[in-house]
Chains A and B, each alone.
Chain A
């Protein structure tokens, strides 16, 4: 692996070893952004089923009721919540707000994210 920045070094972008909390924020934002982009693509494919008629669409809906898909939906919610809340921290900091408290802001916002994700998980899996 070259010592200089280049796209072949992409595994380094997700390597949190010997790094501080800020890098976890950086990695989380990238991973969730990639996940949400992938979801958008899948969402468009699913909507495309509408054009194939009611039977095709119903078949697809039956497929996504599978618990594995439910877990996927929970991951989408998690990605949205984490990305959104972390984005708020970055936006506030970029306006010069709370820059010196970015670490505690990150911890508080991620704690909120965990609570929101747990709430959705409970709702989704307890209601069948």
Chain B
């Protein structure tokens, strides 16, 4: 706890299902080292019990508290108030974009979770597959003789979908997290099924290389790199297929 408290104005976007959105301001005395989620919880606890928002773990593992803070997608449980405003300043809090608003700061992520499920997303993977190739995978000894595994980084927070300008133009676009999941699954099990799911106008080819997903990802998944790596794979397969003898192609079919 720091010595001096700050007075901060929190402008929160409110909306009931089907209702018109409006902005409500709450002024709080806060410790600048507190997190945005702490302030939202205090608004709910002491100012307005009707405010709705999602949260669970408070340590960037569950991915539930994603919101837009001053326009930027953040995991609010790890975003300090000091990092986004100053004493006497204002913090604008909005729900994530590109998802239907259920109420206030709560968005419906059901469709996104179903897409993640369809991609075969597995939250535990062998260490080598869970790490990005340009990272140095930590060597881990396994006493059981099995390949060491770890939790994969994606926490399904949806920040990448909210920030993505391509997702902003097309609701059929599966989004960076799903494509990153397909890449991860492919790296564990190089099955054409994952490529086929990704190789679509609502998949790999809808991405317009803005790299915002990688910028906001709180877990270092680097979805943009994974999308580009998968594109490389698809394109190299297509180029190879041009030079493949037709007889072999028929056999493959």
Q: Which of A11-19, A36-44, A115-123 contacts B (4 or more CB under 8 A)?
A: A11-19
Which one, B100, B167, B169, B212, contacts A20 given CB within 8 A?
A: B212
Q: What are the residues of chain B within 8 A of A95 when measuring CB–CB? A: 231-232, 235
Residues of A within 8 A of B229 (CB): 96, 99
Of B72, B170, B211, B225, which is within 8 A of A18 by CB?
Answer: B72
- Contact, CB under 8 Å: A4 / B71: no
Total count of chain B residues near the partner, CB < 8 A: 34
Q: Is the CB of A23 closer than 8 A to any CB of chain B?
A: yes
B168 and A13 within 8 A (CB): yes
How many angstroms between the C-alpha atoms of A6 and B231 in the bound complex? Answer: 26
Complex: A100 Cα to B228 Cα, angstroms: 10
A102 interfacial by beta-carbon distance below 8 Å: yes
Residues in B179-233 with C-beta less than 8 Å from chain A = 208-212, 215, 224-225, 228-229, 231-232
The answer to whether B171 touches A22 (Cβ under 8 A) is no
Interface residue A29 (Cβ < 8 Å from any Cβ of B): yes
Docked pose: A4 CA to B100 CA in angstroms: 6
Q: Is the CB of A3 within 8 A of B98?
A: yes
Answer whether A9 and B212 are a contact pair too, CB < 8 Å, given A4-B100, A94-B232, A95-B232: no
Q: In angstroms, how far is the closest chain A Cβ from the Cβ of B99? A: 7
Decide: A102 near B209, CB < 8 A? Known: A4-B100, A96-B228, A96-B231: yes
Report Cα–Cα, A3/B13, bound state, in Å. Answer: 12
Q: Are B224 and A99 within 8 A (Cβ)?
A: yes
Alpha-carbon distance between A12 and B168 when the two chains are bound, in angstroms = 8
B98 touches A20 (CB 8 A): no
Tell me, in angstroms, the Cα distance from A103 to B209 when the chains sit together.
Answer: 11
Cα distance, A17 to B94, chains bound together (Å)? 14
| A26 contacts across to B, CB distance below 8 A | 165-166, 208-210
User: Quick check: is B70 within 8 A (CB to CB) of the other chain?
Assistant: yes
Task: Select one of B97, B212, B228 contacting A94, CB under 8 A.
Answer: B228
Closest CB in chain B relative to A4 CB, distance in Å: 6
Q: Which chain B residue shows the least CB distance to A27?
A: B165
User: Is B107 an interface residue, CB under 8 A from the partner?
Assistant: yes
Q: How far is the CA of A90 from the CA of B184 in the complex (A)?
A: 22
Chain A 80-92 interface mask (CB, 8 Å, partner B; 1/0): 0000000001100
Residues from chain A with Cβ under 8 Å of B71 in the complex: 17-18
Q: What are 26 inter-chain pairs, A to B, with CB distance below 8 A?
A: A3-B97, A4-B98, A4-B171, A5-B167, A5-B169, A5-B170, A6-B171, A12-B168, A13-B169, A17-B71, A18-B71, A20-B212, A22-B215, A23-B165, A23-B210, A23-B212, A25-B209, A26-B166, A26-B208, A29-B208, A94-B232, A95-B232, A95-B235, A96-B228, A96-B232, A99-B228
Pairs of residues from A and B, 6 with the lowest C-beta to C-beta distance, nearest first: A18-B71, A96-B232, A22-B210, A22-B211, A26-B210, A5-B171
